[in-house]
């Protein structure tokens, strides 16, 4: 079934006015099959003033949504369109299916097929860096991500906390080390994401955080774009 669906998606990409959509790549995925779906596409289009073209005409609110985002788009370009789609489903008054989920479609390179990352309950929030820095919660680790090689981690409850630096490869280990050094028995991760990040970079971070083994560390469903 998943291989048939892969062919269908590729046909959709190639038959839609010959547009090409490059999916973000991940190494591994927990989800390789989603049934009862309808797709949306966010194309990278250099002919458009904002370099983005959204095709969501086939979305059915009662189905699982597969959101296919070109990996070259920035968060500044893609997130407003994604919020628009999320609100369409969340605000539906009729024909609503509470069990229907939303997924980003990815190319899972280790198994050479599609993989999916769920974002049903994620809320994207646009905030200034000053506002983000002022909101400090107990037992919260902030991940301030400017690029995959420029990630700052710190304990938000203490202004004197040492900021730890990381890159994507080291991120999971650094999170565990910071939680241990701060004496957290449980902690929440908050993502502060630079709006200039590409969608590939964003998905790489989301995929890496799926590797967190500790049940005492959870990821905040609110993701802040600045």
Percent of the chain with pLDDT over 70: 85
The pLDDT of residue 200 is 98
- DSSP letter at 167 equals -
How crowded is residue 81: how many other Cβ atoms within 10 Å of its Cβ? 19
Assign 21 a pLDDT band (cuts: 50, 70, 90). very high
| CA nearest neighbour of 103 among 94, 88, 114, 90 | 114
Q: Please write the tens of the pLDDT for every residue from 201-214.
A: 999 999 999 999 88
C-alpha torsion angle, residues 32, 33, 34, 39 (rounded to 10): 70
The pLDDT of residue 17 is 61
Q: Please write the tens of the pLDDT for every residue from 66-115.
A: 999 999 999 999 999 999 999 999 988 777 898 999 999 999 998 889 99
The gap from C-alpha 190 to its chain's centroid, in whole angstroms, comes to 13
Count H helices and E strands in the chain, helices first: 5, 12
Assign 187 a pLDDT band (cuts: 50, 70, 90). very high
Please give the CATH number for the structural domain made up of 125-225: 3.30.420.270
Query: Hey, where are the domains in the chain?
Result: 2-121, 125-225
The pLDDT of residue 29 is 87
Say if residue 8's pLDDT is above 60: no
Beta-carbon contacts of residue 197 (< 8 Å; ≥ 6 apart) = 74, 75, 145, 146, 147
d(CA 226, CA 220): 16
Stated pTM of the model = 0.88
The pLDDT of residue 121 is 97
Phi, psi of 139 (to 5 degrees): 55, 45
d(CA 79, CA 81): 5
For the segment 20-39, the average pLDDT, to the nearest whole number, is: 95
The pLDDT of residue 3 is 39
Report the residue count for the chain: 226
Q: What is the crossing angle of helices 199-209 and 75-90, to 10°?
A: 60
| CA nearest neighbour of 142 among 155, 124, 158 | 155
Say if residue 6's pLDDT is above 90: no
């Amino acid at each position: 079934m998943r291989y048939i669906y892969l062919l269908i998606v590729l046909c959709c990409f190639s038959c839609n006015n010959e547009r090409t959509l490059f999916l973000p790549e991940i190494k591994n995925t927990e989800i390789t099959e989603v049934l009862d779906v309808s797709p949306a596409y966010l194309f990278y289009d250099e002919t458009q003033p904002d370099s983005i073209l959204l095709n969501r005409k086939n979305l059915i609110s009662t189905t699982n949504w597969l959101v296919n985002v070109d990996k070259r788009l920035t968060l500044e370009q893609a997130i407003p369109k994604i919020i628009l789609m999320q609100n369409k489903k969340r605000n539906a008054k009729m024909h609503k299916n509470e069990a229907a989920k939303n997924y980003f479609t990815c190319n899972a390179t280790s198994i050479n097929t599609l993989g999916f990352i769920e974002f049903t309950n994620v809320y994207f929030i646009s905030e200034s860096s000053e506002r983000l820095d002022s909101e400090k919660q107990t037992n919260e680790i902030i991940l301030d991500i400017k690029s995959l090689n420029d990630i700052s981690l710190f304990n938000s409850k203490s202004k004197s906390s040492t900021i730890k630096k990381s890159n994507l490869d080291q991120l999971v280990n650094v999170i565990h080390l910071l939680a241990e050094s701060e004496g957290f028995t449980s902690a929440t991760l908050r993502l502060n994401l630079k709006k200039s990040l590409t969608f590939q970079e964003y998905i790489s971070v989301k995929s890496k955080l799926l590797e967190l083994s500790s049940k005492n560390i959870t990821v905040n469903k609110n993701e802040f774009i600045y």
